[in-house]
Amino acid sequence: MTMRRAIDEARALLDEAISHYGLKDVVYDVAEPKEEQYGDLYSNLAFQLSKILRKSPSMIAEEVCRLCSKSIAGCRLIRSMEPHRAGYINFRLNIHELAKITLEEVKSKGRMYGSIDVGKGKRVMIEHTSVNPNKALHIGHVRNLVLGDTIYRILRFTNHNAIVLNYIDDSGLQVADIIVGFRFLNFPLESSKKFDHYCGDDVYVKVNEMYDHDPSLLAKRREVLKAMEDYNSDIARFAREVTVRVLNEQLKTCWRLNARYDCLNFESQIIASKLWDKALRLMQRKDIIKVDDDPASKYHGCVVVKAGIEGEEKVLIRSDGTATYIAKDIPYAMWKLGILEDPFKYVEYAKQPDGSILWATSLDGAGSLHINGAEMAITVIDVRQSRLQNIIAKILSMLDNDSSRYKHLAYEVVALSANTARLFNIEIGDKRFAHMKGREGIYINADDMLDRLHNKAYEEVKARNPDEDEQWLHRTAESIAVASIRYSMLKQDLDKIITFDIEDALNLHGESGQYIQYAYARASRILEKASSIAVVGEERGIDIDSTHIGSEEIALVKAIARFDMVVEDTVKSLNPKTIARYCYTLAMVFNEFYEKVPVLHEKDEHLIKMRLSLVRAFITTMSNCMSLLGIDALERM
């Protein structure tokens, strides 16, 4: 918050200069420069004004600085400003003041340091994970989960009433595939493997192989799919049993990854609840859909979304009366935004590791709880679904004239690096990556990757902490594994494919989740030892004004001071990369401080106190930031 205050002061000064020119509403930027030699803040105002005033930026910069020179005295954080001949206006801050108010603010806000009220309590639904319940999560699903869960954490931190949904497509084709395996191809229901792995790695892959050799099996699949539509049929019951077993195993993986949910939405229940009929009637009334009655049309006899949405027609109901995939998503989206009345009852499905209750939709039950009806709905699905998501968003915007309430958070897929692809015997020539393929068994399961990371981390932790007990070692190794995979999924931009390389992923050095954890652990150890060597517990009455503050300390203060601006950027752009990279930078700045600046080995007690309180501020900021990323803060590792 404090860097923001400094920027506000700079802007106030510059605005004053702008009004001297008789101008207003000039768009310009005040930010931290990348190099220290250019001061603590800089502005590009002179460049912006040069277009209007038809003078050179450097002349304007000089003038602006002259115009502001008197007002600087009234500033708390701005100490000086000077023009640079390149045309920039550079500011120097009163570092002691910045340090003082930053440390004070972190201390007083504690766990809420960095939080800003963007949401004003607004209810937002965020759907993520939504893995078909016929297989285990692979690393592609992990990207979805981690993005969604991190967005959730950031929304919650910025005062949104955020609700997390996990959509369970328990009546789709992929589920039908494994039911075919169990019912018609004699796959046993028990296996020594984790059930989701067994269904995905063995049953699903092999059934799909068998389709290739015996196409008549496809008729069995249609039969199963049809039977599953009748909620009370024997096949439907059996399918629910199997999918719930898979789901329960998937949820273990999700919880392992530090995710949590508020509600499971079962597709079979959306269908059975007749929500679709209501959605259909509503769209009819609003003239969004029509029956294609043109015998010459390829969609003759279907209910389609009218042309004009994304420039193409889209079938919602086939000529045989069955609903298409997208048709199931529409009533669900309406439910999210409260456009339709809530037909569901909710039952407690599970108690989650964080202590919260996971609810599930139900068709019967007594509860009066209603989960639907948010001001905004965010759906996390990969970019391949963009076209369909756009159609849904368009339909919804036609219903309530607000096109911004339904957001698709699109992200690119996770693919295998050339080296990793070779482990699956895939030859990719000179390509750089290979796509994963569920039906062919070409993917890396999330649990397997976590186990590998866990084992690697376990060795490292044990080497450093040989006297710790097994339980602690494993708990720590698990936290490191999760941090590692979460950070690797977050650091990349949403529109870039993640080229996943197992070897790289197992490298515990460099820009990574464990680097972040390591910085935190180092800081924690300083505080731990500080309390035992009887220097000080509390640093009261530190006179920062008369204390020397070196460049590493300044860098750390500044990094801490801009946390809330990063939080704001992240929540506005819905791009978790921003906060992830900040967290890494904060860790890096601390590591530099740690290497060069002694805390407990310092002679001057005054400096020890000041540095200890800086370390405390770092710990608080880092802990808040890591919590947004779903990365555990470890006091030792």
Partner RNA sequence: GGGCCCGUAGCUCAGCAUGGAUAGAGUGCCUGCCUUCUAAGCAGGUGGUCGUGGGAUCGAAGCCCACCGGGCCCGCCA
Q: Restricting to residues 497-536, which ones interact with RNA according to CB under 7 A?
A: 497-499, 501, 504, 507-512, 514-515, 518, 521-522, 525-526, 529
Smallest gap from Cβ 65 to RNA, in A, equals 13
Residue with Cβ nearer RNA (358 or 637): 637
Which residue shows structure tokens 């990757």?
A: 449
Smallest gap from Cβ 255 to RNA, in A, equals 22
**From CA 370, how far away is CA 340, in angstroms rounded?**
12
Smallest gap from Cβ 158 to RNA, in A, equals 17
Q: Using the rule CB under 7 A, which residue among 11, 23, 26, 44 binds RNA?
A: 44
Cβ count within 10 A of residue 441: 16
Rg of the chain over Cα atoms, rounded to whole angstroms, equals: 29
Q: Contact, 75 vs 8, CB < 8 A?
A: no
Residue with Cβ nearer RNA (156 or 462): 462
Cβ count within 10 A of residue 346: 20
Kindly identify the residues of this chain, within the stretch 102-161, that bind RNA according to CB under 7 A: 132
Q: Using the rule CB under 7 A, which residue among 7, 17, 30, 47 binds RNA?
A: 47
Total residue count of the chain as it appears in this document: 637
Kindly identify the residues of this chain, within the stretch 428-487, that bind RNA according to CB under 7 A: 431-432, 435, 457, 460-461, 464, 476, 480
Q: Using the rule CB under 7 A, which residue among 336, 486, 491, 558 binds RNA?
A: 491
Residue with Cβ nearer RNA (35 or 364): 35
**From CA 304, how far away is CA 29, in angstroms rounded?**
48
Q: Using the rule CB under 7 A, which residue among 592, 606, 623, 627 binds RNA?
A: 592
Residue with Cβ nearer RNA (56 or 191): 56
Residue with Cβ nearer RNA (459 or 545): 459
Residue 237 binding RNA, by CB under 7 A? no
Smallest gap from Cβ 2 to RNA, in A, equals 20
Q: Contact, 171 vs 239, CB < 8 A?
A: yes
Residue with Cβ nearer RNA (554 or 637): 637
At position 470, the amino acid (one-letter code) is E
Distance from chain centroid for Cα 417: 23
Q: Using the rule CB under 7 A, which residue among 19, 69, 233, 319 binds RNA?
A: 319
Smallest gap from Cβ 29 to RNA, in A, equals 5
Kindly identify the residues of this chain, within the stretch 548-577, that bind RNA according to CB under 7 A: 569, 573, 577
Residue 604 binding RNA, by CB under 7 A? no
Element (H, E) at 315: strand 314-317
**From CA 131, how far away is CA 166, in angstroms rounded?**
8
Total residues interacting with RNA, rule: CB under 7 A: 97
Smallest gap from Cβ 351 to RNA, in A, equals 30
Question: For the chain, what is the total number of helices (H) and then of strands (E)?
Answer: 23, 17
Kindly identify the residues of this chain, within the stretch 329-368, that bind RNA according to CB under 7 A: none
Residue 42 binding RNA, by CB under 7 A? yes
Smallest gap from Cβ 421 to RNA, in A, equals 12
DSSP letter for each residue of 398-415:
HHHS-TTSEEEEEEPPEE
Residue with Cβ nearer RNA (132 or 624): 132
What contacts 24+ positions apart, CB below 8 Å, involve 22-29?
Answer: 23/49, 23/52, 26/52
**From CA 334, how far away is CA 280, in angstroms rounded?**
11
Q: Using the rule CB under 7 A, which residue among 53, 185, 315, 506 binds RNA?
A: 315
Residue 33 binding RNA, by CB under 7 A? yes
Residue 90 binding RNA, by CB under 7 A? yes
**Cβ neighbours of residue 625 closer than 8 Å, sequence gap 6 or more:** 114, 563, 579, 582, 583, 586
Residue 37 binding RNA, by CB under 7 A? yes
Cβ count within 10 A of residue 601: 7
Distance from chain centroid for Cα 271: 30
**From CA 574, how far away is CA 519, in angstroms rounded?**
26
Element (H, E) at 193: none
CA-closest candidate to residue 232, choices 119, 368, 428, 364: 364
Q: Using the rule CB under 7 A, which residue among 11, 12, 38, 67 binds RNA?
A: 38
Q: Contact, 126 vs 152, CB < 8 A?
A: yes
Q: Which stretch binds RNA (CB under 7 A): 108-116, 172-180, 337-345, 395-403?
A: 172-180
Q: Which stretch binds RNA (CB under 7 A): 14-22, 42-50, 242-250, 281-289?
A: 42-50
DSSP assignment letter at 306: P
Residue 26 binding RNA, by CB under 7 A? no
Residue 424 binding RNA, by CB under 7 A? no
Residue with Cβ nearer RNA (202 or 501): 501
Smallest gap from Cβ 578 to RNA, in A, equals 7
Q: Around 367, how many Cα atoms within 13 Å sit in the side-chain half-sphere?
A: 15
Residue 88 binding RNA, by CB under 7 A? yes
Residue 302 binding RNA, by CB under 7 A? yes
DSSP letter for each residue of 69-135:
TTGGGG-SSEEEEEE-TTS-EEEEE-HHHHHHHHHHHHHHHGGGTT---SSTT-EEEEE-----TTS
Smallest gap from Cβ 480 to RNA, in A, equals 5
Q: Which stretch binds RNA (CB under 7 A): 39-47, 104-112, 123-131, 357-365?
A: 39-47
- The interface mask with RNA, positions 243-282, x = CB under 7 A, is ----------------------------------------
Q: At what angle do helices 45-53 and 2-20 cross, to 10 degrees?
A: 20
Q: Using the rule CB under 7 A, which residue among 159, 161, 191, 324 binds RNA?
A: 324
Kindly identify the residues of this chain, within the stretch 384-403, that bind RNA according to CB under 7 A: 384-388
Residue 307 binding RNA, by CB under 7 A? no
Residue with Cβ nearer RNA (101 or 303): 303
Q: Using the rule CB under 7 A, which residue among 12, 26, 50, 352 binds RNA?
A: 50
Residue with Cβ nearer RNA (99 or 101): 99
120 CB-contact burial (10 Å; exposed 0-12 / middle 13-18 / buried 19+): exposed
Q: Using the rule CB under 7 A, which residue among 383, 535, 536, 574 binds RNA?
A: 383
Q: Contact, 180 vs 226, CB < 8 A?
A: no
